[in-house]
Amino acid sequence: MKATTAILDHSVEDDAGWLVRKSRGAASDGAVYLHAPSCAFQAPGGGENQLVRTARGLEGLGIETRPFSPWVDRLERGLLLHLFGMSREGLELARAARVRGIPIVVSPICWYEPAAIRALEPGLARRVAGVAAYRARSVAPWLPSWRRKLLGLADAVLPNSRTEARQLTRLFGVDPRRIHVVPNGVSADLLEAGPELFWRQVGRFDFVFFAGRIEPRKNPLGLIQALAAARLPIVIAGGAPAGREEYAKLCRQAGGDQVLWLGRLAADDPLLASAYKAARVFALPSWFETPGLAALEAALAGLPVVVTPRGSTREYFGDLAQYARPDRPHEIARAVLRCWSEGADPQLSRRVVDHFLWSKTAQLTAEVYDRITR
């Protein structure tokens, strides 16, 4: 198998296309305004997918949603403001909403991991400062910060797991009474996909599948290096965000002819769904995940899953996945090889269907909206 980049013509609109359609014109009174940092969709990932899929689910329940546009929208016309992710930009918008009496919901989509800080922050000074800040917050959550201010403005905070909820309280002093856990989800449409499209356009062979940004936190280089000796074919779907081009180059060099590169595929691209069905194992040995939408999609598709133990992954996958630390190549290789030989536990897919579909996410979100707008 030769390393390549598949250049394929897909007609399905991606998340950015949905945002463009929804942003045309002004919203009617009572719309839910959705906000993510302005640069978010320049390199879409799980957080952006969460915003779009939640919005689509809410619209299925009859709730109008709209990406907030500062050029045409006025906060006072909206039902509420829902911020996805935490940013200084979001803080300023939340302050403006608070002055106008508009309820504020925050989906933080965050995780603070000392091991990741030590491994990923550039330079010794940044690493020492990052770990010190984490430890200080662990014992003094009342310390001021813009994140604490943002979370303090929210009428409701929607972490993706109980694990994340406890961390928000421990590090930022968020009142547990304002926390409502809303898990991440996946689309049930994936159950209808088959491997045939992948077989026709890419090839028919067994492989380890990785889907995600090509960046250090997601650790595709660690996966490639861990599986070098095993010589298992790897297929990678994802693009490098701005500033990570050199890292992506290292990944391609390390992968050689063992890795086939698909490039970035939109979340609703049928080739992505087909790749899940065609793969033999899915692996996401990141530095942390909450829990990794790609891993959830793979689990729903019936794949055995190897995932990082850092973050909220155990809360989602329990004992039905294999766990491997990102800085332990032998653990990654051992977990992948075990999945390769044993296959998936069928209970994993059923667990996702029962608890982690976007319809469930939308329903829980709508209940929070109703509670804070009464």
| 8 A C-beta contact, residue 291 and residue 184 | yes
Q: Does any domain span residue 221?
A: yes
Q: What is the CA radius of gyration of the chain?
A: 21
**Residues paired with 113 in a beta bridge:** none
Residue given tokens 């155990």 in the structure block? 314
CATH number of the domain bearing residue 40: 3.40.50.2000
Same domain, 171 and 208: no
Q: How far apart are CA 282 and CA 203, in angstroms?
A: 17
Per-residue pLDDT of the chain (374 residues; tens, 9 = 90+): 444 433 333 333 455 555 555 655 555 568 999 998 776 666 666 778 899 999 999 999 999 999 999 888 999 999 999 999 999 999 999 999 999 999 999 999 999 999 999 999 888 899 999 999 999 999 999 999 999 999 999 999 999 999 999 999 999 999 999 999 999 999 999 999 999 999 999 999 999 999 999 999 999 999 999 999 999 999 999 999 889 999 999 999 999 999 999 999 988 899 999 999 999 999 999 999 999 999 999 999 999 999 999 999 999 999 999 999 999 999 999 999 999 999 999 999 999 999 999 999 999 999 999 999 98
Residue type, 29: D
Number of domains in the chain: 2
Name the burial class of residue 131, with classes exposed (0-12), middle (13-18) and buried (19+) by CB atoms within 10 angstroms of its CB.
Answer: middle
Q: How many helices (H) and strands (E) does the chain have?
A: 16, 11
Q: Does any domain span residue 1?
A: no
pLDDT given for residue 56 in this prediction? 93
pLDDT given for residue 9 in this prediction? 36
The enclosing H or E element of 49 equals helix 46-60
pLDDT given for residue 247 in this prediction? 97
The structure tokens listed for 59 are 């619209």
| 8 A C-beta contact, residue 84 and residue 36 | yes
pLDDT given for residue 22 in this prediction? 60
Q: How far apart are CA 23 and CA 73, in angstroms?
A: 10
Q: Does any domain span residue 245?
A: yes
Q: Does any domain span residue 5?
A: no
Q: How far apart are CA 198 and CA 202, in angstroms?
A: 5
Helix/strand/coil for 321: coil
Whole-structure pTM value: 0.89
Same domain, 71 and 202: no
Q: Does any domain span residue 107?
A: yes
Helix/strand/coil for 172: helix
pLDDT given for residue 4 in this prediction? 40
| 8 A C-beta contact, residue 317 and residue 233 | no
| 8 A C-beta contact, residue 205 and residue 232 | no
The domain in which residue 71 lies consists of 15-185+357-372
Same domain, 158 and 24: yes
| 8 A C-beta contact, residue 209 and residue 233 | no
Cis peptide before 108 (omega within 30 of 0): no
Same domain, 161 and 56: yes
Same domain, 232 and 341: yes
Q: Does any domain span residue 43?
A: yes
pLDDT given for residue 47 in this prediction? 77
Same domain, 224 and 340: yes
pLDDT given for residue 48 in this prediction? 84
